Amino acid sequence: MTLGLRSPFLDSGNEDLRAQINTLHYELESIKQERELAALEHQKELRELENRAEADFKRAQVCSQYE
């Protein structure tokens, strides 16, 4: 039975593990944010391409009316 005394080795090991957990948590959150940003960028690019395609289609319709 211990009297509330902790081994410096165990405290050091626990601190190392906590630091590693915090680092991994930060990295995971960063990866999640990067994925969300990539998804938003892809959605924006898709909207821009759809708008460009729609404008090209309308332009082609107008041009074909005058031929």
For residue 5, being part of any structural domain is answered with: no
For residue 31, being part of any structural domain is answered with: yes
Predicted TM-score of the model (pTM): 0.63
Report how many domains make up the chain: 1
Output the 3-class SS for the chain. CCCCCCCHHHHHHHHHHHHHHHHHHHHHHHHHHHHHHHHHHHHHHHHHHHHHHHHHHHHHHHHHHCC
What pLDDT is attached to residue 23?
Answer: 98
For residue 53, give its domain range.
Answer: 27-67
> For the chain, which residues score pLDDT lower than 70?
1-10, 67
For residue 10, being part of any structural domain is answered with: no
For residue 2, being part of any structural domain is answered with: no
For residue 7, being part of any structural domain is answered with: no
For residue 17, being part of any structural domain is answered with: no
For residue 16, being part of any structural domain is answered with: no
